[in-house]
Chains A and B, each alone.
Chain A
Amino acid sequence: MKMKAATAALIALMAAPAMVAAGADDDTLIINEEITMTTKAPAPAHLSDALDEVMSGWHFRSDGTQAMQMDDFDNPGMIGVEAGLEAWNTAEGSEGKSCASCHGDAESMAGIKAVYPKYNAEAGEVRTLQMQMNACRTERMGAEAWKYDKGDAINMEALLASVSRGMPVNVAIDGPAAATWEMGKELYYTRTGQLDLSCASCHEQNYGNMIRADHLSQGQINGFPVYRLKNTKLNGVHSRFKGCVRDTRAATYKPGSAEFVALELYVASRGNGLSVEGPSVRN
C-alpha cells in the first residue's frame, strides 16, 4: 500500500509542471508534400473506454523535429531505408536468392507493415515483421537469421514501413491472435519495477504531461522503426519497450521474446487507424 501511495505522489508530481506546453499540437503531417498522414484518429473500439482519440507521437515533438520527418532528404531514417533496399536486392544463403527474387519490387510489399504483428497459421504463432523476415531467410533463402532489432533487420523493417507510409495500421486482434493480444494487454497494464509503473501509468493516464524533462506521448508505435536524435540510429519497437521497462527499474524482457511480441501486437492495436509513419524522427 505504501508503495502505491508513493507512486500516486510521483504521478501527481509529474502532472504538476505538465501545464507547460507538453501536449499534442494540431499540425498536419505531410511527407514530401505528397503523402498526408492520419496522425489523429478515433480510438479503436477495444480502447474506447480508456481513450477518445489516438495520436501519433509526432504531435508531441518540437517543430524542428517534426520538420525532419516531412522531407525524405531531411529524414536520417531514410539512410536505413536505402541500406534496406540494398539488402532487399542482395542474394544471400544457400539458395542464392534475394528478397527481390520472390517478391519483386519492395513497393509490392505496400500494406504489409500495417497488418503486422500477424498470426501465422502454418507456424501457429503471432509473428512480428522481423520474425517473418527471418523465417524467409532461414527457410527459403538458406541464410542466417538476422539479430533482432539490429542493423540489417531494422533497416529492412524501415524499408517495408516506408513503402506502407500513409496506410492505416490495422492489426487483427481477434480469432487466433486473441490469446496473444490478451497477454499483451495484461503486460501493458501490469506495474513493474521499483518505480511500480505500467505502460498505462505514463502513456494512457499522463500523455501530454512531462516526466521530468521528457514529453510523454501516447506511446504509439505506428512510426517505428524510429530514428532517434539521442542515439542517431533507427530503433526497433522491442528495443524501445526494453528502454521503457528498464526505466521503471525492472528486469526487462529480451527483444524478440514472446512477451514483447505480445506487447507489440497489443500496442500496435492501440494505434489501429493511424497511418504507418516509419521511419519516423523522434527525440
Chain B
Amino acid sequence: MADGVKPRVKAPKKAAAGEVVTLKTLISHKMESGQRKDKQGNKIPRSIINRFTCDFNGANVIDATLEAAISTNPYIEFEAVVNESGEFKFTWYDDDGSVYEDSKSIKVG
C-alpha cells in the first residue's frame, strides 16, 4: 500500500425522490506517472489509481478508467439520480493491487 492514501467523499445525507445529487470524491495519492526519472536516471515505476467506481444499492453509477496523465490527488465529481434510500459505495483501485473503499448512505423522503 502506497503512503498517505486516504479516500474522501462528500455527499448529501438526504434527498427528495428522483433528485439529482452531486457527489464529490477525492483520494490523496501520488499518481506517479511512470514517465519520470530519479536522480540516477532510473525510471520511477508507475503507481496510480487506475480505476474508480461508484455503486448505489448494487447498481453501477460510474466506472472510470484513470490514466497516467491524471494529476496528484485525483478529484472526481459527478451526479446521480436517487429514487430510494440506500448506500453509495465508492471504490478506488491502485496499480499495486490495493483497493480503497468508502461509503455514504442517503435517505430519501
Binding site for B on A (CB under 8 A): 73-74, 76, 79, 82-83, 232
Are B26 and A83 in contact, with the CB atoms below 8 A? no
Asked if B71 lies at the interface with its beta carbon under 8 angstroms from chain A, I say yes
Given that A79-B28, A83-B4 are known contacts, is A232 also in contact with B10, CB under 8 Å in the complex?
no
Are A76 and B24 in contact, with the CB atoms below 8 A? no
Complex-state Cα separation, A83 to B8, whole angstroms: 14
Complex-state Cα separation, A232 to B30, whole angstroms: 10
Are A73 and B71 in contact, with the CB atoms below 8 A? no
CB-nearest residue of chain A relative to B31? A232
Shortest distance between the CB of B12 and any CB in chain A (Å): 12
Binding site for A on B (CB under 8 A): 4, 6, 8, 10, 24, 26, 28, 71-73, 75
- Residues of B within 8 Å of A73, CB to CB, are 8, 10, 24, 26
Complex-state Cα separation, A168 to B28, whole angstroms: 31
Complex-state Cα separation, A73 to B24, whole angstroms: 8
Are B72 and A232 in contact, with the CB atoms below 8 A? yes
Are A232 and B71 in contact, with the CB atoms below 8 A? yes
- Residues of A within 8 Å of B10, CB to CB, are 73
Chain A interface helix/strand/loop/mixed: loop
Shortest distance between the CB of B22 and any CB in chain A (Å): 11
Complex-state Cα separation, A79 to B28, whole angstroms: 7
Shortest distance between the CB of B109 and any CB in chain A (Å): 25
CB-nearest residue of chain B relative to A229? B71
Complex-state Cα separation, A245 to B18, whole angstroms: 56
Complex-state Cα separation, A131 to B75, whole angstroms: 34
Complex-state Cα separation, A206 to B75, whole angstroms: 35
Shortest distance between the CB of A9 and any CB in chain B (Å): 39
Are B73 and A232 in contact, with the CB atoms below 8 A? yes
Are B73 and A76 in contact, with the CB atoms below 8 A? yes
Complex-state Cα separation, A275 to B24, whole angstroms: 28
- Residues of B within 8 Å of A232, CB to CB, are 71-73
The 8 closest A-B pairs by CB, nearest first: A73-B10, A232-B72, A79-B28, A73-B24, A76-B73, A232-B71, A79-B73, A73-B26
Shortest distance between the CB of B8 and any CB in chain A (Å): 7
Shortest distance between the CB of B21 and any CB in chain A (Å): 14
Complex-state Cα separation, A82 to B27, whole angstroms: 13
Are A74 and B73 in contact, with the CB atoms below 8 A? no
Contact of B24 among A74, A79, A83 (CB under 8 A): A74
- Residues of A within 8 Å of B28, CB to CB, are 79
Complex-state Cα separation, A73 to B4, whole angstroms: 17
CB-nearest residue of chain B relative to A68? B75
CB-nearest residue of chain B relative to A80? B28
CB-nearest residue of chain B relative to A82? B6
13 contacts between A and B (CB under 8 A): A73-B8, A73-B10, A73-B26, A74-B24, A74-B75, A76-B73, A76-B75, A79-B26, A79-B73, A82-B6, A232-B71, A232-B72, A232-B73
Complex-state Cα separation, A76 to B24, whole angstroms: 13
Complex-state Cα separation, A76 to B28, whole angstroms: 9
Complex-state Cα separation, A79 to B26, whole angstroms: 10
Complex-state Cα separation, A74 to B76, whole angstroms: 10
- Residues of B within 8 Å of A79, CB to CB, are 26, 28, 73
CB-nearest residue of chain A relative to B28? A79
- Residues of A within 8 Å of B8, CB to CB, are 73
Shortest distance between the CB of B5 and any CB in chain A (Å): 11
Shortest distance between the CB of A189 and any CB in chain B (Å): 38
Besides A73-B8, A79-B26, A232-B72, 10 more A-B contacts (Cβ < 8 Å) are A73-B10, A73-B24, A73-B26, A74-B75, A76-B73, A76-B75, A79-B28, A79-B73, A82-B6, A83-B4
